[in-house]
Amino acid sequence: MGDFVIKRAIISVWNKKGIIPLAKKLVQKGVEIYSTGGTFKVLTENGIPVTKIEDLTGFPEIMNGRIKTLHPLVFSGILADRSNSGHQQDLQRVGALDFQLIVVNLYPFAETFYAGDKSDSEIVEMIDIGGPSMLRAASKNYNSVVVLSDPSQYSDFIERLNNGTIDEEYRRLLAGAVFIKTAGYDAEIAGFFSGKADGLPDLWMNRYRKRAELRYGENPDQKAALYSPVSAAESLPFIQLQGKEISYNNYVDCIAAYRVAMEFSTEKVVCANLKHTNPCGFGVADSALDAYKRAVRADPVSYYGGIVSVNRPVDRAVAEEFAKSFLECIVAPEFSREAIEILKKRKNLRLLIPNRDYLDYPYDVRAYGKGLLVQEHQMPEDREEAWDIVTERRPDDSFFRALRIGWHIVKHVKSNAIVLADKNGSVGVGAGQMSRVDSMKIAIRKAGEAGLEIKNTIIASDAFFPFRDSIDLAAKYGIAGVIQPGGSIRDKEVIRACEEHNMFMLFTHKRVFKH
């Protein structure tokens, strides 16, 4: 083991993964092991010689394990600097043993907190006290102690133990990993205790670990990386089955695509085609193939080189259709074996399964310099009973499916947004214009270019109409009705325009801007 000799170790872990091979290697190297509670039980059951911490301290575990290692004989043995003669004399004076290895991982506080079905008392019980204390003590004394805080570190440690390369640089690196871990751990606990004000946390203390270097950011001259929470370091937004590395822009587009397709409540199959986070086509049908064909038909030009998202498994039939076009990514909850075999021919095409546990998050977060802008994620569900029909003409049942589809799509289109829709999906999309009537003109133009019937469609608007000009334009094309939030000082004027053109209009009383 070179200049760094390990004579004694403390092993006290919640996550027992990999602990038996590690302990066996330590015993093989002549290391004396001390342990506690459940870890002691697992080690002895596997025939590994181990001494209870309480036999060292003369003090039993009490309070259901709350007090196990919090004792001066434990912490003096961890904190004693081997290069400090005074420390060594103090050890002898109090009859303490020095430790050169600490193996500790923490109670799963975050997992318990976010489980959603745990009481406050159960969550509080998962606040580790002795574990972080030992980790921090060992890290402070990295010159004399090596500390392992995660099972992922064991294999490298064993290799270094065999090679005698547990050097100062390595010990310092492991010490740094401890403080990253405990910072995240404490942040989660602070979030639990801080409560909420107006639905938002008082403290925003999340910590993130780099998970992947991306080729570049939004543009080639920008560096980019993917980060995930320290408390859930293995989390990724998507499971990638095949294809090129996911780029920064791919991630942004695919997260948007996931929400467009997966958040629409229906028993049918939904397919959304996206470009630059905007849905350019949206189809609803009984099969993935028909839904995709309808989405493509709504804009057969823009979808080229875009993202496709489906709310049902991808089967052979739709995979064969996907393979005919150049697509960047396909997002779906599942891909059949046949579908994967077909799509392998497009070797650069990324097949992605969304990780709903990490994508479904109650907040939208944006950085402004060194600070954050945080808002609640706008929930996809709508209380249709709150919708008001504000015109004499009322939509019959045949229009309500189109109204639901249009209102859903427009939530995901950059403002100012207008969507033309029928009962099968989008007919035309006007996105991101500074003037609402310009978005209206684009949606109508797109529908005409696609050869889709505009007459008797509906229009959905993400915010109120400031003037009647969009209604007058819609009437020229035989559009049947409108769904919009309402709230303009000219609402009466806009409603009057609908009455003049025998169109119906619904107010949702909910704005759905997207910036």
For 76-222, strand residue ranges (E) read 101-105, 146-148, 196-197, 200-201, 208-214
In this structure, what token pair is assigned to residue 172?
A: 């310092």
Question: 123 forms bridges with which residues in the sheet?
Answer: none
Q: In sequence order, what are the residues at sequence separation of 6 or more whose Cβ sits closer than 8 angstroms to the Cβ of residue 30?
A: 7
Q: d(Cα 54, Cα 43) in Å, to the nearest integer?
A: 16
Amino acid sitting at position 30: G
Residue among 286, 305, 233, 270 at smallest CA distance from 405: 270
Please give the torsion angle defined by the CA atoms of residues 234, 235, 237 and 243, in that order, rounded to the nearest 10 degrees: 10
Residues 310/330, Cβ–Cβ less than 8 Å: yes
Give the three-class secondary structure for 234. Answer: coil
Determine which one of 140, 244, 293, 414 is catalytic. Answer: 140
Q: What is the DSSP string of 474-496?
A: HHHTT--EEEE----TTHHHHHH
Q: Report phi then psi at 196, rounded to 5.
A: -130, 150
Is 514 in the active site? no
Place of tokens 């009057």: 496
Active site residue 276: yes
67-74 contacts: CB < 8 A, separation 24 or more? 67/130, 68/12, 68/36, 68/37, 68/130, 69/10, 69/12, 69/36, 69/130, 69/133, 69/134, 70/129, 70/130, 70/133, 72/96, 73/97, 74/10, 74/134
Residue 274, classified by CB atoms within 10 Å of its CB into exposed (0-12), middle (13-18) or buried (19+), is buried
Mode of pairing for the β-strands spanning 208-214 and 238-242:
unpaired
Asked if residue 182 lies in contact with residue 139, where contact means CB atoms within 8 angstroms, the answer is no
Q: What is the largest CA-CA distance in the chain?
A: 98
Measured CA to CA, the distance from residue 100 to residue 166 in angstroms comes to 11
Choose the catalytic residue: 268, 276, 344, 510: 276
Residue 358 near residue 211, CB atoms below 8 Å: no
Catalytic positions are 140, 276
